[in-house]
Amino acid sequence: MDDCIFCKIAQKELSSEVVYETNEVIAFRDVAPVAPTHILLIPKKHIQSLSQLEKNDRADLMPKMYDAIDELVKKEGLNEKGYRVVSNTGKEGGQTVNHLHFHLLGGRSMQWPPG
Ligand code: 5GP
Ligand code: ZN
């Protein structure tokens, strides 16, 4: 998608600190981190949000997302203390970039409920 910043990051038209990459998935550090570890995981393919994730994409993509999370959790040393994975979806979900992404947050104690 032409005007999508995450598509541009996936295509390396916009720079970012990439920490994981396969043919389908890329992960990079959030530009405005809210925790010591704040990584965004996205499908390279433009999908607007979880609510636009079709069944065949779901079956294909989600195991790859979990593989990425698993590897990054190990790399960042988060397994023991814990971490949070969240996908803000739509307006009331707090989504500001309309390309499906998962935040991987760790390195500090999280609060619940989120704001
Ligand atoms: P959302 O609010 O949609 O759940 O998350 C979007 C996230 O993308 C925010 O945490 C924001 O800081 C991050 N972000 C927005 N623009 C950029 C960018 O150009 N580069 C990087 N690395 N992160 C971005
Ligand atoms: Zn996109």
Write down the domain spans for the chain.
Answer: 5-106
For position 1, what pLDDT does the model report? 80
**According to DSSP H, which parts of 19-84 are helical?**
55-75
Mean pLDDT by 10 residues, the chain (115 residues): 94 98 98 98 98 95 97 98 98 98 98 93
pLDDT at 88 (0 to 100): 98
Ligand nearest to the CA of residue 42, numbered in listed order: 2
**How do strand 102-106 and strand 37-43 relate by DSSP bridges?**
antiparallel
The finding on whether 5 has its CB within 6 A of some atom of ligand 1 is: yes
**Predicted local confidence at residue 2, as pLDDT:** 84
Cα separation of 31 and 40, whole Å?
10
Q: Which of 38, 46, 99, 101 is catalytic?
A: 101
Please give the Cα distance from 100 to 50 (Å, whole number).
Answer: 6
- pTM of the predicted model as reported, rounded to 2 decimal places: 0.98
Is 103 an annotated catalytic residue? no
Whole-number pLDDT of residue 23: 97
pLDDT score at 115: 85
Return the CATH superfamily for domain 5-106: HIT-like (3.30.428.10)
